[in-house]
Every structure is written in C-alpha cells, then in structure tokens.
C-alpha cells in the first residue's frame, strides 16, 4: 500500500462505523465466541442509531442482546443468543416473543452450520455439506438449509449455503496500519468471517509496525489486503477478555442481566453505559482506572521463542 492508502485505513471508531456499516448491513461479530467481542463497535452502532442490521454470529453473548434491545437489528442469523454467564437474553426474548422494540426475524443455526456458511463464502463455493442437524428442527425450519443425498454414498447430508455478510468486525491483539492482524487464544469463526465479508473492520489493542507482523507470519489471522479499516482502540473488547491484555469483567454481565429483565431498566442501562458516556473514552472513564487495572493479567506468559532464520 502507498503511504497515503495506509494512513487512510486507520480510522477513529466512529468514522469506521459511519463509513463502513450502513443501515441495513449484514454484520458478523463476536466471531471468537466469548472472547474478543467488539463491544466498542456494537456500542458505537447503538450511539449512531444504526437501523435494520442483520446480526450474524455463532453465540453472541450479550452483544447481540444489546443491539436488538436498542432497536438496531431487523434480523438475527445465529446459533445462540443470550448471556453466556446467566442464560437468557431479555432483549432478544422481548423482540422475538413480543415484537419489542420491533419484530425481528431469526434464522436459527447450530454453531457448526453457521461456521460452514461462512466457510463456504470464504472458500468461494455455493455450499458446504455436513452431517450435523439431521433430525433436528433447526434443519426442518430453516428453509435455507437443504437435505440431500450424497452422490457418492447415498447417505443423507445437510447442505449449508454460503453466508456472505456485508461486513465483519474483528477484535484482535495487534494489527499493522495495513490491517495485517494477529490474534491469539481461540479464534472461533474469525478467519472465515473475514474472508466471507466484503468489508472487514479490524479493531486492535496494539497498532504495531509492519515488521512485528512480518516477524511471525504463521500468527497472521487475516492479511491486510482483505481489510478495509483499522481502528486502534485499547479496551475495545471490554467486558469480554483479550488474552495478554485483560480478563473478562464478569460484573458487567451480571449487572446487565439483573437490569435487563424489564425493558425500561434495560434502556436505562444502555443510556448509562452506552449513550451518556458519548464515546469509548467516556465509557472507559466511567469504568475508572482502578476497575480496569484489576482486569489486567496477573502475570506474563510468554510464548516459547520461534526462529524464522534462514
């Protein structure tokens, strides 16, 4: 990339969201499951009052619940929507059960079929076959999944069609200005989601020199030429954990669970924690340095050295 092009990829959070995630977009996020959830982006979508999004993801923890409760979503394509720590997601339930704040469509998957849909799009094939979901009502009620006989063996198979979101949002430990990025810990469906999507926004804890990425190319999760925008935003995944940077802030999930059973409480929670702080800096300020510091790793655990010498 030319220097100009590189500089243009690095954007402030609000600008990246404004420019690349329009109303009506299908957005995949929460791709590493309970870790590396791009909560800062979700909160910015709420602040910018984005509407009619399709939310795509395996298990969303409370990220999807908040977006749904805030009225940002029209459709959910997922295997699980709730609060991993406490079960039910009240925002999601109210939308499905009572159409509040407005009705949403739900396309149910298992984790595996959601992953396969993204894989198919990433690989550029119209579908991938699997043996999961045979006999499940998820198959019976999801009209996009097809049951077919295998042309080789005659055995029944489920064909999962390609699922290509408009935009993927990934939170990672480090990226360079071109978007070459590296993450560690479980990565779930992150790589497939990025390759399946037209737009990729990478949010990183550390914006590093190009040489850091190139010192360890086996660690790269997504190459920069697939990345549209890079947002340098430490703590951008809070309250979800980022290995080597901060632990999960369980208290947030408990607090949200307790304060989301009634719709007015949930809206008050969003006002207090998303809208009123104004931006991510305001959110961190409200959390306070002491609380953040308490989430820091207790010790370093460095990876054993690896030598790429030649």
Partner 1 sequence: MAVDYTPGELMVAVAAREIRDGEVVFVGMRLPLLAFCLARATHAPNAVGLFENGIVRDSPALAFLVTMSDGPNVAGALWCTEMREIMGLLQSGRVDLGFLGGAQIDRFGNLNTSYVGPPGRQTRLPGSGGGADIAGLSRRHVVIMAHERRRFVERVDYVTSPGFGEGGDWRRRVGLPGGGPAAVITTLGLFRFDPETREMVLASTHPGVTVEEVREETGWPLACAPSVTVTPPPTGEELAVVRRFDPDGFWTRDRG
Long-range contacts of residues 139-144, Cβ cutoff 8 Å, at least 24 apart: 141/108, 142/107, 142/108, 142/109, 144/107
Out of a copy of itself, partner 1, none, what residue 192 binds, judged by CB under 5 to 8 A for its kind, is partner 1
Beta bridge partners of 231: 203
Helices (H), 225-271: 250-258, 263-270
Structure tokens, 129? 């076959």
* Three-state secondary-structure class, residue 139: helix
Name which of 47 and 173 has its Cβ closer to partner 1: 173
Residues that bind a copy of itself (CB under 8 A): 124-131, 146, 148, 150-153, 155, 157, 159, 161, 173, 182, 184-185, 187, 208, 212, 215-216, 218-219, 241, 243-244, 247, 297-310
Using CB under 8 A, which of the segments 12-20, 41-49, 134-142, 272-280 binds partner 1? 134-142
Note whether 134 binds partner 1 by CB under 8 A: yes
Q: What φ, ψ does residue 109 adopt, rounded to 5°? A: -135, 170
Q: What is the DSSP letter of 273?
A: I
Binding to partner 1 (CB under 8 A): which residues in 106-125? Answer: 108-112, 115-116, 119, 121-125
Question: Is there a cis peptide before residue 101, judged by omega within 30 degrees of 0?
Answer: yes
Least Å distance, CB 244 to a copy of itself, is: 4
Binding to partner 1 (CB under 8 A): which residues in 252-291? Answer: 253
Out of partner 1, a copy of itself, none, what residue 237 binds, judged by CB under 5 to 8 A for its kind, is none
Contact by Cβ (8 Å): 59, 79 = yes
Least Å distance, CB 288 to a copy of itself, is: 21
Using CB under 8 A, which of the segments 10-18, 44-52, 177-185, 271-279 binds partner 1? 177-185
Note whether 304 binds partner 1 by CB under 8 A: no
Task: Determine how β-strand 156-161 pairs with β-strand 181-182.
Answer: unpaired
Name which of 4 and 309 has its Cβ closer to a copy of itself: 309
């Amino acid at each position: 990339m030319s220097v100009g092009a590189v500089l243009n990829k690095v954007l402030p959070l609000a600008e990246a969201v404004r420019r690349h995630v329009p109303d009506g977009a299908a957005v995949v996020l929460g791709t590493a499951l309970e870790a590396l959830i791009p909560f800062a982006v979700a909160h910015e979508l709420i602040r910018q009052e984005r509407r009619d999004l399709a939310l795509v993801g395996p298990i969303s923890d409370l990220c999807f619940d908040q977006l749904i409760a805030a009225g940002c979503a029209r459709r959910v394509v997922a295997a699980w929507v709730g609060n991993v720590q406490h079960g039910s997601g009240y925002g999601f339930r109210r939308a499905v059960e009572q159409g509040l704040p407005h009705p949403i469509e739900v396309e149910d998957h298992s984790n595996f079929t959601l992953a396969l849909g993204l894989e198919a799009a990433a690989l550029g094939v119209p579908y991938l076959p699997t043996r999961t979901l045979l006999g499940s009502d998820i198959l019976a009620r999801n009209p996009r999944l097809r049951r077919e006989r295998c042309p080789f063996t005659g055995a029944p198979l489920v064909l999962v069609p390609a699922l290509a979101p408009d935009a993927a949002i990934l939170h990672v430990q480090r990226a360079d200005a071109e978007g070459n990025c590296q993450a560690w810990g479980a990565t779930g469906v992150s790589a497939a989601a990025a390759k399946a999507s037209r737009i990729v926004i990478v949010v990183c804890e550390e914006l590093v020199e190009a040489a850091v990425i190139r010192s360890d190319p086996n660690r790269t999760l997504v190459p920069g030429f697939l990345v549209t925008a890079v947002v340098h935003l430490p703590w951008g995944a809070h309250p979800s954990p980022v290995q080597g940077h901060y632990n999960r802030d369980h208290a947030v999930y408990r607090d949200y669970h307790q304060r989301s059973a009634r719709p007015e409480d949930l809206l008050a929670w969003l006002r207090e924690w998303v809208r009123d702080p104004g931006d991510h800096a305001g959110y961190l300020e409200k959390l306070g340095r002491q609380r953040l510091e308490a989430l820091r790793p207790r010790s370093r655990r460095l990876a054993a050295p690896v030598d790429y010498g030649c």
